[in-house]
Amino acid sequence: MQAGFRLVAEVGFEGLRLRQVAEDVGIDHSTLHHHFATKQDLVAAIAAYTVSQFWFTAQEDGDPVVRLRSHFDALARLLREHPDLFTVTVELDLRARRDPTVRAAMVEHEAGWRQVLVRTLAEGLAGGTLNREIDPVATAELIIATVKGARLVPGRADVIFDQLFALILGCPLSDDRPPNEETSEKRTS
């Protein structure tokens, strides 16, 4: 399963070959069929394995702004340190279009993610620490879409996340009102 994951990261689902997976593991390709009756099954397992790797380090308590910031940071770090994870996710998003099993896994995973985002945004909105015009649901979708798009350009993910975060934060730092001190500076890390 992990070998399959690695292979997908390397050559995509289009280039995924059962024989190669088996060889990487060090077993006969027939033995692979013993564990995964069909290629589809392996793909589903890879999908499940991949989404299981995402454990949103989303604290439930604390300042929503901080939680949102750390969420972006966690994503940025993950993207930096485990680019494979995002590479495979892109592949999975594409495959989900035509593979219901994969689609189900992705939808479920995304639902959890969306829920976390919506709750955090709603709290921030209620607390007045976020741009008041933000619609939590719409912005959650916006964040999800942005992250998905940013996967394709890992090198620019940081700047993209920073800009989005800045926009979400709220009223942009007008000179006559003090901005949120600890977050207004452009994060570059």
Partner DNA sequence: CATGAATGAGAGTTCATTCAT
Partner DNA sequence: AATGAATGAACTCTCATTCAT
Q: Residue numbers of the site for its own copies (CB under 8 A)?
A: 11-15, 87, 90-91, 93-94, 97-98, 131-135, 137-139, 141-142, 144-150, 152-153, 156, 159-160, 162-164, 166-168, 170-174, 179-180, 183
**What mask, x for binding DNA by CB under 7 A, covers residues 127 to 166?**
----------------------------------------
Q: Which stretch binds DNA (CB under 7 A): 1-9, 15-23, 129-137, 148-156?
A: 15-23
Q: Which stretch binds DNA (CB under 7 A): 35-43, 91-99, 114-122, 159-167?
A: 35-43
Residue-wise DSSP of 49-117? HHHHT------SSS-HHHHHHHHHHHHHHHHHH-HHHHHHHHHHHHHHTT-HHHHHHHHHHHHHHHHHH
- The distance in angstroms from the start CA to the end CA of the chain is 33
**Shortest CB 61 distance to its own copies, Å:** 26
* Cα–Cα dist 6/18, whole Å: 13
CB 132 within 8 A of CB 122: no
* Cα–Cα dist 106/50, whole Å: 10
Residues that bind DNA (CB under 7 A): 16-20, 27-31, 33-35, 37-40
